[in-house]
Each structure stands twice: as C-alpha cells, then as structure tokens.
Amino acid sequence: MSDTNNYTDNTFNLYQAYSYTLLLQVEPTSFSYAVVNDTHLLVSAQNCDLQELFQPMALNDLLSATYKKVIIGMPASGLTLIPNSLFREERVSGFARFLDVKENEKVFAQPLDDINAIIYKTDAGLISAVERFGLQNAVYTAKGWIKAIANSNPPNNNLYLDVSKDKVQLLYFSLKTLRFYNTFDFRSEDELAYFASFVTEELNLKPQNITLVISGDVAAGDKNLIRLAYFFPKIERNGLKVLELPGQIQSHKLLSLAALSLCGSSVAV
C-alpha cells in the first residue's frame, strides 16, 4: 500500500471546532478523516485503526469535539441504482429486498445525482462505530467523488477509477450524464486490469480511445498502474481539487475523502 496523507495545518485549533466540518470515510477494516474550515484543509489522516471509532484513544479529543457539521462516508456491501423518478422513501424497503440484506446489515438510501438514487447496505458493526455522530449525517462513500467528477464536465472518453487497497470503483459519463457506476473487489493487479477491461467492453469502448483517470491509493510506477498501462495506453491521475490542499498532498490520493465535503445526508431504513 502506498503512503498515507497525514497532515496538520498550523492554524488548526480544536477550540474552534464549532466552525469546522469533520469528514469521516469508513472502510470495513479502517477509516480516514479530515477536518476542514470552509474549503481549507486543516487536518487529514488515512488508513486509521478502526478501533479508534469504537474506543477513541489517540484521536479522542478530535473525535469528541463538537463540530459545525459532520459528514460520514459509509461503504456498501451491496448496492443498486434506481431513477430518481421512482425513488420514494416508502419504497426503499421493497427495493432493498433485491440486496439480500442480512441480519447484521442496515440499508441506506439517498439521491446520488440529478437522475439516480442509490440504495445500499452496510455492516451494522460499522454503523455502530459512527452512530454517535448521527446517522442522518451518513452518505454513500463515493457520493462526493461522483459529484466532483460530474461537476468537472467529464468528457465521453474518460473512464474514472478510484482505487483502494482491495476495491476499485469505476465511473463513466456520456454526454455529461452518469451512465455507469459499480465497485469490484480485487486481489491482484491482474484482477484490477480485468475489471477495468470488462467495464470498457460492456460500455462498447475501445481501450486505445479512452483515458483512465485514476484517484486513490496509486503512485507512479506501482504495480497496479503498470498492469493497467499494458491494456490502456492513456492513463492519468485525477487532478481535481475540491479543497485547498498543501503542496505536499497529492490531490488524487485525497479526492474521495475531500469530496465528502460536497455531500448532504441520507435516509436509513
């Protein structure tokens, strides 16, 4: 795994937390966080021990402060997209039946963009870890990332990837409209390349005509990028910035976490 982005601005003061926003991005075995003042990044850290959410020790002061706003990005163990025209809160339970929800899972639903709503399930243990921050503040983990890209007027020849330790999210827009979004678990660089190639084929795109625009846990020369380059001649790291970042932080590594600042709340059922 590549290096984390731990950062603290010298103006950060927890006594002013009432004017800050806390961003939490939860994964099955870890979490990342950032504290921002408007669009200014004050603090960030990635790949933190999940136990800190259950019983804060090193992060007790930071996680116990009273913030102006909290936004929690939650992962999905299953999801489905439906048109906003069909989305009604009273229908969520019916749609959720297609997700095969287990006893240890809870369902969330929210608009994803102007056209689609997302209904997703996540582990109840993870929910208990963030419940004290208010479940009304929970959103799907990629909602901000998707919104940030949508706001950038994405061209038809870009396929967007966000890569973490063992999961990749793929996103494609056609005529400025979201046409494809899905996530895949992968265990090797070969599987990552396979899923990117599979999605490209499903979308009737030609690898030589598209650009992979990548964010997340990637670095120049790493095995994932080297393997993807074997199939896709055009690869670039995502340079979108939704927050003011210090020079030492590469924007593509913090994009999905920082983009949570663009999100609203969700509905839990």
pLDDT at 86: 85
pLDDT at 4: 52
Calculate mean pLDDT across residues 27-46.
95
Pairing mode, strands 167-174 and 158-163: antiparallel
pLDDT at 100: 86
Calculate mean pLDDT across residues 86-105.
83
pTM of the complete model: 0.92
pLDDT at 153: 95
Answer whether residue 260 shows pLDDT above 50: yes
3-state secondary structure string across the chain: CCCCCCEECCCCCHHHHHHCEEEEEECCCEEEEEEEECCEEEEEEEEEECHHHHCCCCCHHHHHCCCCEEEEEECCCEEEEEEHHHCCHHHHHHHHHHHCCCCCEEEEEEECCCCEEEEEEEEHHHHHHHHHHCHHHEEECCHHHHHHHHCCCCCCCEEEEEECCCEEEEEEEECCEEEEEEEEECCCHHHHHHHHHHHHHHCCCCHHHCEEEEEECCCCCCHHHHHHHHHCCCEEECCCCCCECCCCCCHHHHHHHHHHHHCCCCEEC
pLDDT at 87: 81
Answer whether residue 195 shows pLDDT above 50: yes
pLDDT at 98: 79
36: Cα within 13 Å, side-chain hemisphere:
23
Answer whether residue 231 shows pLDDT above 70: yes
Calculate mean pLDDT across residues 75-79.
93
pLDDT at 265: 54
92: Cα within 13 Å, side-chain hemisphere:
19
CB-based contacts of 26-32 (< 8 A; 24+ apart in sequence):
26/50, 26/53, 26/72, 26/73, 26/74, 26/75, 26/126, 26/129, 26/130, 26/141, 27/75, 27/164, 28/75, 28/123, 28/126, 31/129, 32/257
Q: Which single residue is written with the structure tokens 């996680």? A: 63
Calculate mean pLDDT across residues 58-79.
96
- Distance between start and end Cα atoms, the chain: 35
- Which tokens go with 122? 């996540």
Answer whether residue 2 shows pLDDT above 50: no
pLDDT at 85: 85
pLDDT at 1: 38
Confidence band for 121, pLDDT divided at 50, 70 and 90 = very high
- Rounded to the nearest integer, the mean pLDDT of the chain is 92
pLDDT at 248: 86
Confidence band for 114, pLDDT divided at 50, 70 and 90 = confident
pLDDT at 97: 80
